[in-house]
Amino acid sequence: MEKSRIKFLLCIVAAITLASMSFKPAMAAMGNETDRLALLALKDELLGGSHGGPLLSWNASLHFCEWQGVGCGQQQQRVISLSLPGLKLGGIISPSIGNLSFLREANLFNNSLKGNIPREFGHLRQLRSLNLSRNNLQGNIPVELNNCSNLQFLNLSDNSFTGKIPFQLGDTMKNLIKLSLARNDFIGTIPSSLGNLSSLDYLQLGNNHLEGNIPISLGRLSNLKILVLSRNNLSGIIPPSFYNLSAMKDIRMSTNKLHGGLEPELGFAFPELEILHLGGNHLSGRIPVAVTNISSLKQFDIHSNGFSGLVPGDMGKFQNLELFSINYNELGNGEEGDLDFLSSLTNCSRLKLLAIHMNKLSGVLPDSMANLSTQLETLYIGGNQISGNIPEGIGNLVKLTQIHVGENLLTGEVPTSIGKLRNVGRFDLSLNRLSGEIPSCIGNLSLLSHLYLNGNSFEGRIPLTLEKCKSMQIMDLSTNKLSGGIPDQLVAGFERLVALNLSHNSFNGSFPSGVSNSKNLVELYADNNDFSGEIPERFGEISQLRILHMQGNYFHGSIPQSLASLRGLESLDLSSNNLSGTIPLELRNLPFLVSLNLSFNLLEGEVPEEGVFKNISQFSIVGNKDLCGGIPEIELPKCLNQAEKGKRNGLSTKSIIVIVVSLSLALASVAFISILCWRKRFGKKMIPLTLEPVNLMQVSYRELVQATNGFATSNIIGEGSFGSVYKGFLDQQENPVAIKVLNLQNLGAVKSFAVECKALRNVRHRNLVKLITCCSSIDYQGNDFKAIVLEFMTNGSLESWLHHEHDQDHSSHHLNFAQMLDIAIDVANALDYLHHRCQIPIVHRDLKPTNCLLDDDMVAHVGDFGIAKFLFDVASNLDNEQATSSIIKGTIGYLAPEYGMGGSTSPEGDIYSYGILVLEMITRKRPTDDMFNDEMSLHSYCKMALPEKLEEILDFRLLEQIKEKSQKIIGDQNIDCNMLDCLVSFTNVGVACSVEVPVERMKIEDAVNELHAIKARLHARNRIDPQQEIKELEV
């Protein structure tokens, strides 16, 4: 019985064993089929249903474990890895990937995948590595991904993911060793839970939009070796707990908003640190001397912060140093010892990049600089106050590719040893005090592409050896003392040339037509030289040319017709030459031409009316002879046809004299009789206007009533002390006009009318409001009526742009710095014209933002000459001197101090008002603001802020524009120091013009020159990019 039972049990065990043995293959086969189908579904989505491409092997002829990129386990033949990097796969990731339940590694790096991360990834509990970087994926990180608790490697960088980083990520993926979410669009703060990832040794969150403080909890990541948080919006200080991360080798936090200083512990906390990037923040204080203890350091970058004081002198302890970037700070004490650290750096034999430019470093450039590492490739020391000569030994640095020593105080000649630097591509010596000739050995630099020698005192000829520099793209030799002719062969070989600036020298002879070989030339400046001959016809072959400035030379002949073929031309200046003939009509067809200056030549004939010639603010033709036609605003006589010319030519000189004399006598008689009748009728004294005979249109009181809808209040666009200004439409004018109607009940209104009419009829300049006509009549009640009709300015006054931002017209925009600079130049040009270039000089006496009007193109026009004064005008002088005894004319705040003490009218009074106007633009504070009193004025307020504290007085919108520009152009700094430097110079102009003593004020012509120099520096910002090497390292 017992044996039978045993046999029975054995049979049951055998049956179960046989059943399980047959069940396992069945289950395996079922699992295999699940994986196969999941892969096929994945293929269909990746390739959009096609059966070709990189996944061609994924077909029934092969077992799926043999398909490209598929890895299977040895025992169960289940998919454990999927590796398809760099195959240019498109489409989306199929949710079926969640059915690969044994998957441990998924690598789809560097494809073109789009869509979201499927939530089904959360089913992959065995997943240890997920790499989806360098695709076009978007959306949020799915919450379900937190279920992948075994993940050790997660890389989602270089996509377009949005939303916040899941706050629980550090609590659910505690096995993570490497985490990269860089170069996406994540927002919010860094989750503090990341501090729980105790195994983490690599954390990359750079290039997102993260904000807030760096979590203190990150100080618990004791195994962390690499931390990249650069290019976010992080703020606050570097947390003290951060100094606990002793395993750190690579720290990158550049381009954030971090503030505070660097603690001395920095030199002891990271004994293995190799890379430290903190550039582009708001850090300040001194560089800790202890930092030199980090002997393993290879890259030290703190550019674009607020560090000050001396640079530690023992930087040579960095034996492995390759990159040293401290540019755009406030380093230096303005003393001789500022550059001592350079000698120490000669011990850094591996140094490749040295960038100390844009600081306050002073002293003589040491000869020891020639002993820097022979591995040095990039040298930037410009924008300081460094003096002395360029060391002869610079030729030892034979691997240099970029040299920027511009904007210093260097003197002497350029050493001939530079001829040894055959790898140099960018060479900048600009804005120093260098002299002598340009050395001929510069032709040895066969790779030279960017040459900046402008703003020095170089003399002599351009060396012919430069023709060997076939890679030349930008060459700026402007503002030197260079002379002689420019041989054709010198420039004929510059086929890659993009910009050539020869302006403000003494070059002579014909201009080389060989420059036409430079088919990529975009900008050509040859102005203010002694060139002669004709302008080359071959200029028309430079199809990419956008700017051509040849003014201030001795060119003669006609304007080449070929210029009309330059379809991309934006600015053409041929003024102040001896050009003759007619204006080529074809210039009107240039679609992008917005600035044309042909003034002060010998041109004649018809002025076109289309294209650039439609807008008087975009072209200038003054100072020519016998021009006719054009738009009405330029007030030229009509062009005569041949018959009319014949008739006029048929009259003898005697006949013409008889006719002119007869007409003059007749007109004088009529005028005399009219005046007698008028005075007899109204019994009023007439004010003699003594106006020049200018052809103004005639307009009656009735026409002005109709033009303004009966002087409706809805038409009022401004009000002043002498009356109201209306917007109106005259039948004779295509565009609206501004009609200034004087309130004759106000004392001085009649005289104001006479003065303003006289002033405006005697001046003509693109930056002065244009007079259309004056109307002196009687209204319907028989009362005197006087009005001045002016050109209408569509963008209102500068006052409205500065202080009326809530107005409907200006609610959505405000002035940027470039616009302010242009407006300041426009107003300064107007004053320069009034003071120095009128037949009778005029002092405006009421310059303020209200009287600076802006047209369609934001070009400024000075208006309101109601209290202007003609200098050297006897009648005007007497009247004005009598007036000053009883009343001070002008506007409080803008009125020059000497006027309040009985001083006589002078151009310096306008200059004072101009200086206040400039300061008002940058601070957006009126000179009569409540904060100003007897102890502090707008002038002293700005002067005290220069230069270090300028940011404290700038209007906040300017600061925002500076930061926005820096993020777009530089990328590695939150304050564009070049723009800030320009703002310092701009403020200096305002301060210099508004000093209390008249004779100490800046001359207006000097202000114009300085503003143009500031504008040139502002627009030349992209000339160098000293941080490019650093950017490439921050990936």
Residue 8 lies in a domain: no
User: What's the confidence (pLDDT) of residue 778?
Assistant: 83
CB count in 10 Å sphere of residue 630: 22
Angle (nearest 5°) at CA 885 between 880 and 888 = 75
More confident of the two residues 1012 and 368: 368
pLDDT given at position 971: 38
Residues 571 and 438 in one domain: no
The answer to whether 1031 is a known ligand-binding residue is: no
Rounded-to-5 percentages of helix, strand, coil across the chain:
35, 20, 45
Domain shared by 813 and 788, yes or no = no
Domain co-membership, 840 together with 785: no
Per-residue pLDDT tens digits for 20-63: 454 444 444 555 889 999 999 999 888 744 455 778 889 989 99
Least confident stretch, 132-146, 400-414, 614-628, 1014-1028: 1014-1028
- For residue range 882-916, what is the model confidence (pLDDT) as tens digits? 333 334 567 888 888 888 777 788 899 999 999 99
Question: Is a pLDDT exceeding 50 seen at residue 690?
Answer: no
- Evaluate whether residue 925 is within a structural domain: yes
Task: Name the least confident of 45-59, 228-242, 644-658, 722-736.
Answer: 644-658
Residue at which a domain ends, from 792, 808, 842: 792
**Are 822 and 716 members of one domain?**
no
Structure pTM?
A: 0.65
> Where is 580: in which H helix or E strand?
strand 578-581
- Report pLDDT for 731: 77
Q: Are residues 831 and 976 in the same domain?
A: yes
**Neighbour tally for 317: CB within 10 Å:** 16
The 10 Å CB-count burial string (b at 16+, else e) for 965-992 is bbbeebbbbbbbbbbbbbbebbbbbbbb
| CATH code for the domain of 680 | 3.30.200.20
Is the separation of the CB atoms in 617 and 793 below 8 Å? no
Model confidence band, residue 480 (pLDDT cutoffs 50, 70, 90): very high
What is the per-residue pLDDT across 915-924, written as a single tens digit (0 to 9) for each? 999 999 999 9
CB 849 within 8 A of CB 827: no
The more confident residue out of 640 and 541 is 541
Q: Which tens digits make up the pLDDT trace of 630-655?
A: 999 888 899 886 555 544 444 544 45
- Quote the pLDDT of residue 649: 47
Q: Which domain holds residue 567?
A: 485-634
Q: Using the 3D structure, point to which of 400, 434, 466 is the last residue of a domain.
A: 466
pLDDT of residue 56: 86
**Is residue 975 pLDDT above 60, yes or no?**
no
Number of Cβ atoms within 10 Å of the Cβ of 731: 8
DSSP 453: -
Residues taking part in catalysis: 846
Question: What confidence score (pLDDT) does residue 1032 get?
Answer: 44
* Cβ-Cβ contacts under 8 Å for 31 (sequence gap 6 or more): 76, 78
Domains contained in the chain, number: 5
In a domain, 290, yes or no: no
pLDDT at 273: 96
Tell me whether residue 128 is in a domain: yes
Mean pLDDT of the chain: 84
Same domain, 838 and 984: yes
Same domain assignment for residues 628 and 683: no
Residue 704 sits in the same domain as residue 842: no
Q: Taking residues 414-440, report their average pLDDT.
A: 95
Q: Are residues 56 and 129 in the same domain?
A: yes
The reported pLDDT for the residue numbered 748 is: 75
Strands 723-728 and 737-742 turn out to be antiparallel
568 lies in the same domain as 679: no
Cis peptide before 947 (omega within 30 of 0): yes
Task: Give 840's pLDDT tier (boundaries 50, 70, 90).
Answer: confident
More confident residue, 838 or 158: 158
Q: Give pLDDT, residue 1010.
A: 85
Mean pLDDT of 766-776: 84
Question: Can you tell me the distance from the alpha carbon of 967 to that of 345, in angstroms, rounded to the nearest whole number?
Answer: 31
Tell me what pLDDT residue 642 has.
54
pLDDT value at position 1012? 83
Angle between the N-to-C axes of helices 1004-1019 and 907-923, in degrees from 0 to 180, rounded to the nearest 10? 30
- Give a yes or no: residue 381 inside a domain: no
Has residue 862 been placed in a domain? yes
Dump pLDDT digits (tens) for 411-422. 999 999 999 999
Given a cut of 90, whether residue 156 has pLDDT beyond it is yes
Domain boundary among 731, 758, 792: 792
Q: What percent of the chain has pLDDT over 70?
A: 85
The two tokens of residue 342 are: 């350079």
Residue 909's alpha-carbon distances to 513, 848, 1000, in angstroms, are: 48, 12, 12
pLDDT for 250 beyond 70: yes
Pair (777, 803) in one structural domain:
no
- Tell whether the model's pLDDT for residue 522 goes beyond 70: yes
Residue 116 has pLDDT above 80, yes or no: yes
Task: Read off the pLDDT of each residue in 471-498 and give the average, rounded to a whole number.
Answer: 91
Pair type for strands 323-325 and 299-301: parallel
Q: How confident is the model at residue 521 (pLDDT cuts 50, 70, 90)?
A: very high
Q: How far apart are CA 442 and CA 472, in angstroms?
A: 12
- CA–CA separation, 505 and 527 (whole Å): 9
**pLDDT bracket for residue 11 (50, 70, 90):** low
CATH code of 917's domain? 1.10.510.10
Q: Is residue 237 part of a domain?
A: no
Q: How far apart are CA 258 and CA 235, in angstroms?
A: 4
pLDDT band at residue 506 under the 50/70/90 scheme: very high
**By C-alpha distance, which of 116, 125, 224, 197 is closest to 160?**
116
pLDDT of residue 960: 79
Provide the pLDDT for residue 654. Answer: 47
> Do 812 and 928 share a domain, yes or no?
yes
Amino acid at position 27, single letter: M
pLDDT band at residue 356 using 50, 70 and 90 as cut-offs: very high
- What is the structure's pLDDT at 12? 66
**Checking DSSP bridges between strand 869-870 and strand 202-204, what pairing results, if any?**
unpaired
Query: Of 694 and 584, which is predicted with more confidence?
Result: 584
Query: Is 379 among the domain residues?
Result: no
CB–CB of 740/723 below 8 Å? yes
CATH assignment at residue 520: 3.80.10.10
Question: What confidence tier does 968 reach under pLDDT thresholds 50, 70, 90?
Answer: very low
